[in-house]
Structure 1
Amino acid sequence: MSDLDITVLDATATVHRESLRHRGWPVELFVHTAASIRHFVSQDLAERKPTMARLVARGVPLLPGDGGAAVRHYCGEVLEAGPAPLPAETLAGARYALSDLLDDMQGAAPGPEGTAVAVETWRRTAELVLDVNGCWRGGGKWLMRELISLDTETGTSWVPRLDAGLAAALAGDTTLLRVTAEECLSLAGGRLWEGFHQAASIDESR
């Protein structure tokens, strides 16, 4: 049974989330003020995941009144605008990480390590495909839902290839997953390993 996600907008509330059952139905309550919704939308934007914005903008008002029209409009605009362009440094880091995983995959023997590398390659490839196409990311099932939406809009086949590629890799054949990841990297500028440089961010005040 799928749970019900209910956002409660209350200017006097203590912001929190709560899991409960109502008449046997699992319910996730997200209790917010307008300010807290904007705060969490801002946090989500940094991760390129529109979790809060989607929850509010696409929810159905259950009580009389304007249903939080102003904040719902704000969240709708965020969804419509999409994520900000990926910074060059972040894109380089993503290319490097996936390139490194592909090298690991070539040398990984079947077993726990090979499984871990395959799963991470699958995830990183899916995220990078979404990034280079200017799409939202997602976590868990929403990662695939975002990718399904991209496939539907563009006529691509990332989802079935990644799904089949991961299944084959877990069974010992990494060919399809590697080919799919390489195709993704070609869209992002190709493999990146030698010459990659990333400055460390250190808080020297501590």
Structure 2
Amino acid sequence: MNHLKKGNAIEAAQQFIAKHFPHCDGALLAGSVVRGEATETSDLDIVVFDNHRMTSYRESFIAFGWAIEVFVHNLTSYKQFFDEDYKRARPSMPRMVSEGIILKDNSFIESIKEEANQLLKKGPEEWSQQTIKTKQYFISDALNDLIGCSNKAEELFIANTLAELVSVFVLRTNRQWIGHSKWVVRALMQYDETFTQQFINAFDIFYKTGAKEQIIKLVDKVLESYGGQFFEGFSIGK
């Protein structure tokens, strides 16, 4: 699909904007090609600002040798996405705007970039103590499910759940942005490379051999600063 070289990503993006959004107010090229992390299956992520659009939308194209994901906003709708990303602690739109290469600009994109940069620098909202205890309980519950399980198929899904719970817990209790899919590891690496390698190794050993000891040690270490595993006294809705 990507018969154009990665170095031609900007040219392809500019051609795309000229054809499909010739009257837009501004556009950015973001994603893996901008970060120098493109693979053979990478697409182009393009953010378009068009003040004639009443609502924001997302659309996929095959054009100029690339798969292209376009995120279209007017000059105010992006703010809602910034706010929603802040609340869920996954800064997808702010990150795209911050890292994006400007393809077209009617003298306003730098100010939106500054908004994105300030939000990324601020970090997500701090968890309350109640939220921490609740997450601690569900991690403890998943860990004990894994320890007690002897069904290989069930173990795989319990481990998947535990990996997600632990990664989110570590990042959010340290006021770090979280991620989804490949961004889980990227978010962890940005926070603490040593811990991330321990995290990867523990689950890799389990998936390869079925041995749970390293996962147990890892989770107990994560929970140690919060009093360890938590069960007795947990309550919701009382």
TM-score w.r.t. structure 2 length?
Answer: 0.78
Displacement, 1:110? 4.0
Would the aligned equivalents of 2:89 and 2:178 in 1 still touch at CA under 8 Å?
A: yes
Q: Distance in 2 between matches of 1:39 and 1:123?
A: 26
Q: Distance in 1 between matches of 2:105 and 2:142?
A: 53
**Helix, strand or coil: the match of 1:63?**
strand
Q: Aligned-residue CA RMSD in angstroms?
A: 1.6
The residue aligned with 1:134 is: 175
The residue aligned with 1:203 is: none
Identify if the C-alpha distance between structure 1 residues 40 and 66 changes in structure 2 by more than 3 Å, giving closer, same or farther: same
Q: Share of identical aligned residues, percent?
A: 28
The residue aligned with 2:20 is: none
Matching of residue 100 in structure 1 with residue 141 in structure 2: yes
| 1:27-176 matched pairs, under 5 angstroms | 27-152=68-193, 157-170=194-207, 171-176=209-214
Q: Distance in 1 between matches of 2:105 and 2:47?
A: 15
Offset from partner CA, 1:100-127 (integer Å, 9 cap, x none): 0111111111411111111111111111
**Helix, strand or coil: the match of 1:163?**
helix
The residue aligned with 1:12 is: 52
> Which amino acid counterpart does residue 199 of structure 2 have in structure 1?
L
| 1:165-204 matched pairs, under 5 angstroms | 165-170=202-207, 171-199=209-237
Would the aligned equivalents of 2:87 and 2:125 in 1 still touch at CA under 8 Å?
A: no
Size of the aligned set, in residue pairs, is 196
**Helix, strand or coil: the match of 2:124?**
coil
Would the aligned equivalents of 2:203 and 2:215 in 1 still touch at CA under 8 Å?
A: yes
Identify if the C-alpha distance between structure 1 residues 79 and 6 changes in structure 2 by more than 3 Å, giving closer, same or farther: same
Displacement, 1:67? 4.9
> Which amino acid counterpart does residue 145 of structure 1 have in structure 2?
R
Would the aligned equivalents of 2:50 and 2:73 in 1 still touch at CA under 8 Å?
A: yes
Displacement, 1:85? 0.9
Would the aligned equivalents of 1:110 and 1:172 in 2 still touch at CA under 8 Å?
A: no
Q: Distance in 2 between matches of 1:188 and 1:129?
A: 11
**Helix, strand or coil: the match of 1:62?**
strand
Displacement, 1:43? 1.1
Would the aligned equivalents of 2:142 and 2:158 in 1 still touch at CA under 8 Å?
A: yes
Q: Distance in 1 between matches of 2:156 and 2:78?
A: 38
